Structure 1
Amino acid sequence: MSSLSLPTIRRRRNYVQKFIENIDSFNKATDEVLEEKKTTGGIISGISFIIIVILIFMQLNAYIFGEDDYNYKFSIDTNFSDHPYLELDMVVATSCSNLIAHFYGSLSEQFTVGPTLKKDPTRFDFTEKELYYWEELKKVHRQIRSDSGTHFNRLEKMAFVSQAVEEGLKSEADGKLLDQKRKNKKKKAIHHFEENAAIFFVSNGINVLHIVASGSQNMDSKACRIHGRVQVNKIKGDNIVVSLGSEIGIENLLAQFSGIPFEGNTSHRIERLNFGPRIFGAITPLAGTEQISLSGKEEYHYFLNIVPTKIYHNGIFGGHTLVYQYSVTFTKKVPKNTPDSHTHAGITIHYDFAPTVIEVRRVRMSILQLVFRICSAVGGIFATSSLLNGLIVYICDTYRKFIVSGADLLKTTKRRENLIFSM
């Protein structure tokens, strides 16, 4: 039998693999190639390592101890059924029997009947402790006005005072009230059942609510403290007027309209005036306001622009807190000493609720953002250091080659000169 030749296997070249290998732009190195260590590379690596450590520390410090950012958004206020509280605590340098107050506006329907505020006899001068607390409150108040004037503050720039200051002022005011009551009892100026005056709001049908105080006629004191809370409606154009006069008696009413002056002084201090839920320690623009009237007959006007603010909370439960911040514009009118002037000394607080609401959301860096920032910083430093190292090595090598070529050229020239002289 004839032997058959073995078939040969034909190998086909993998053109696709060859094409991909040809476009590979990365340099290849075998295991036998050793990388040369250089001094410049070590210095740059050390500096890069120090910078990386500093940047990581700064990022962690900003994440843990840094201040949060806030996102502010304006929208239309559609919560018309809300009835915020108006909390007032002020002292006027006039006896309660010679002080009348009007509430020009509308109260919430649930609070139009019954005592809502109080008029209590007190002293206008400070006790030693009260003066200390008042100076602390005025210090923060001056700082607010010097930083932002009467404008709204950002949430992270709100000023706070120790809760001990607020509680101390209230405690000292209550102490002066008790002391004044004892003095009045000794003088038999009031009866035991007329220890303070509860203020009632009585409507006259034209959206004017008169504050009528029971037991205020026999209050013998140098000053009057008006304090308490009342729930109001969010409408525009309301105001509170505190003026010199008397609530009861036709002769007092005629004197009020004829411009006959009453005894008293419009010097006053405002320890607290805020709307909505109370935030302990937060300083409102009018907290710490003090006005001293030299003539006792000045007219003071405070114009408040109130903006509802929703502060949204992060976390599992979320939700928001509704507060009311306000800005203040202040004017003072000095009466003219002319026969035809019919000015009435008093204190007027005008307040308007804005139709907009501010939504505040806290913006905090997440863990994923922190990791991305650290990785990008580290990668950027490594990339920059590699480019810098390559540039320095290239410059050094070029300079070294230039020096070496210059030295070789000098040697060659000297050899030629020696050969010429030897011949």
Structure 2
Amino acid sequence: MSLLSSNTTIRHRRPTVQEVVRDFDAFNKTVDEVSEEKRAAGGFLASLSFLIIAALVFGELRNYFYGDEGHYYRFSVDTAFSEHPELELDMIVATPCTNLMAHLTGTTSHEFSSMNEFKHDPTRFEFTEKEAMYWNELKKVQHRTKEGTTLFKSLDEMTFISGQVEEGLKNEAETKQREEAHAIQLEKKKNPKESMDGGMLILIGNGFNVFHVVASNSEKNEGTACRIHGRMRVNKVKGDSFVVSTGKGLGVDGIFAHFGGVSNPGNLSHRIERFNFGPTIYGLVTPLAGIEQISETGIDEFRYFLKVVPTRIYHSGLFGGSTLTYQYSVTFMKKTPKKDVHKHAAIVIHYEFAATVIEVRRIQSSLLQMLIRLCSAVGGVFATSVLLNSICVRVLTVLAGVSERAKIRLIDSQLGIEQPGVVVDT
């Protein structure tokens, strides 16, 4: 007789969500009562994995926030012909200021005002003790810069020097300048009737052999050397030159007498501490910084040919923007005229701006890329540690089995030796 009546229906219980998810789980599960034996090798691998993960995470975060960034370089046509970059100069010539003439050729004169001129101050050509130390440091860096020199340098190839050296040279130059000015004042008091007809003229040429006076200082005494320094705006034209030559300042009406051969002897031995275009980048060693040339004859002609390339550096971040700077290469030539040839000693710095501009943009990983690298590194370490742990467990298991079998055979052999005459009847 059936236990269920004919009108009884069987109702199936609806499966829970947990049971449905468990049915889809394809991974093998261990029973709660079964626990895996902990091994020293597994603990060592786990500790080593956590140390490696911590080191990788720290390295990735440090590289993201403080690491060296890459840069993307692109050449394009320079269309900013109307810009007037500043030429910054700081040099010492071993000739009194009143026996020097300095001028720019090939530049239109209407771009300049009375405030846009180089300063010229009496000084001494000899080094002070501190100045010699700073200068030797600058020359060492300049020597390293010349090794493998190329026209275009990436940002990470540019050479910088300690700001202490740069400031030290400037401070020592100003100290010598003040000491020389004080000595000149004392000399004026001793000889108040001394003639003051000499002077230094800074001229601007417009390319048609017409020169315009930018600065004249015939009231200054000579001193023993002349420091030419300051900033001046120049045009981005082809074929400009900055010329420093020996010659007595004769006033505006007698300027061309200098070019006719009237000159006083002078020595154009010189040192260049700074020569760069554009905004000041403190610590940057340019090709002419740390250059020293000595004229043994006193009538040598020094020529520097500069190829200037505008470089625009774009900044990333919230405000962005860009900085326009200039890098250049130098070709040097020294001429010593023959004895029977009349020629003025001169320092000619010829510079030419390139028609191209280098655009530099920073390459920085995004936050998403950094997180992906972190996840891949952590996952790779975990996967490798699991694989190594499985191999170690397998090897240890095999070794343990071999050891157990060896012990059993040893026990069996010992039992056989102790009872050699025992025969078991069946």
User: How far, CA to CA, are the matches of 2:317 and 2:423 in structure 1?
Assistant: 96
Confirm whether residue 245 of structure 1 aligns to residue 231 of structure 2.
no
Do 1:115 and 1:200's aligned partners in 2 also have CA atoms closer than 8 Å? no
**Closer, same or farther in 2 for the Cα pair 1:113/1:391, shift >3 Å?**
same
**Structure 1 residue 114, shift from structure 2 partner:** 7.4
**Structure 1 residue 231, shift from structure 2 partner:** 1.3
The equivalent of 1:381 in structure 2 is 381
Confirm whether residue 89 of structure 1 aligns to residue 90 of structure 2.
yes
Name the SS of the counterpart of 1:243 in structure 2: strand
> Could you tell me which of 201, 206, 209 is aligned with 2:204?
201
- 1:40-79 aligned within 5 A: 40-79=41-80
The equivalent of 2:292 in structure 1 is 290
**Closer, same or farther in 2 for the Cα pair 1:322/1:22, shift >3 Å?**
same
- 1:254-403 aligned within 5 A: 254-255=260-261, 262-337=264-339, 339=340, 341=341, 343-403=343-403
User: How far, CA to CA, are the matches of 2:376 and 2:198 in structure 1?
Assistant: 72
User: How far, CA to CA, are the matches of 2:355 and 2:116 in structure 1?
Assistant: 30
* Equivalent position amino acid for 1:201 in 2: I
- Please identify, of 370-379 and 406-415, the stretch whose mean Cα deviation from structure 2 is larger: 406-415
Show CA shifts across 1:279-337 (max 9, x none).
Answer: 34433222222211222222212122212222222332211121222222222233344
Confirm whether residue 165 of structure 1 aligns to residue 158 of structure 2.
no
The equivalent of 1:227 in structure 2 is 229
User: How far, CA to CA, are the matches of 2:116 and 2:370 in structure 1?
Assistant: 56
**Structure 1 residue 203, shift from structure 2 partner:** 3.5
Confirm whether residue 103 of structure 1 aligns to residue 108 of structure 2.
no
Confirm whether residue 179 of structure 1 aligns to residue 176 of structure 2.
no
Do 1:71 and 1:362's aligned partners in 2 also have CA atoms closer than 8 Å? yes
Show CA shifts across 1:147-206 (max 9, x none).
Answer: x54655443444032363254145225414523541563444455xx8974624254625
User: How far, CA to CA, are the matches of 1:316 and 1:327 in structure 2?
Assistant: 34
* Equivalent position amino acid for 1:27 in 2: N
* Equivalent position amino acid for 1:235 in 2: V
**Closer, same or farther in 2 for the Cα pair 1:175/1:28, shift >3 Å?**
same
User: How far, CA to CA, are the matches of 2:279 and 2:176 in structure 1?
Assistant: 22
**Closer, same or farther in 2 for the Cα pair 1:396/1:301, shift >3 Å?**
same
Question: TM-score scaled to structure 1, two decimals?
Answer: 0.79
* Equivalent position amino acid for 1:116 in 2: E
Question: TM-score scaled to structure 2, two decimals?
Answer: 0.78
Name the SS of the counterpart of 2:260 in structure 1: helix
Name the SS of the counterpart of 1:255 in structure 2: coil
User: How far, CA to CA, are the matches of 1:325 and 1:243 in structure 2?
Assistant: 26
User: How far, CA to CA, are the matches of 2:85 and 2:110 in structure 1?
Assistant: 12
**Closer, same or farther in 2 for the Cα pair 1:123/1:404, shift >3 Å?**
closer
Q: Percent identity?
A: 46
User: How far, CA to CA, are the matches of 2:298 and 2:222 in structure 1?
Assistant: 19
User: How far, CA to CA, are the matches of 1:265 and 1:44 in structure 2?
Assistant: 76
* Equivalent position amino acid for 2:268 in 1: T
Do 2:105 and 2:204's aligned partners in 1 also have CA atoms closer than 8 Å? no
User: How far, CA to CA, are the matches of 2:319 and 2:133 in structure 1?
Assistant: 41
Aligned residues: 407
**Structure 1 residue 82, shift from structure 2 partner:** 0.7
Do 1:302 and 1:348's aligned partners in 2 also have CA atoms closer than 8 Å? yes
Confirm whether residue 116 of structure 1 aligns to residue 122 of structure 2.
no
* Equivalent position amino acid for 2:377 in 1: A
Do 1:184 and 1:219's aligned partners in 2 also have CA atoms closer than 8 Å? no
User: How far, CA to CA, are the matches of 1:365 and 1:239 in structure 2?
Assistant: 44
Do 2:99 and 2:198's aligned partners in 1 also have CA atoms closer than 8 Å? no
Runs of 5+ consecutive residues of structure 2 not aligned to the other structure? 16-20
Measured on the aligned residues, the alpha-carbon RMSD in Å equals 4.0
Name the SS of the counterpart of 1:285 in structure 2: coil
**Closer, same or farther in 2 for the Cα pair 1:41/1:119, shift >3 Å?**
closer
Show CA shifts across 1:210-265 (max 9, x none).
Answer: 66763449843332232332211112221112222345446543327xxxx85111
Runs of 5+ consecutive residues of structure 1 not aligned to the other structure? 15-19
The equivalent of 1:36 in structure 2 is 37
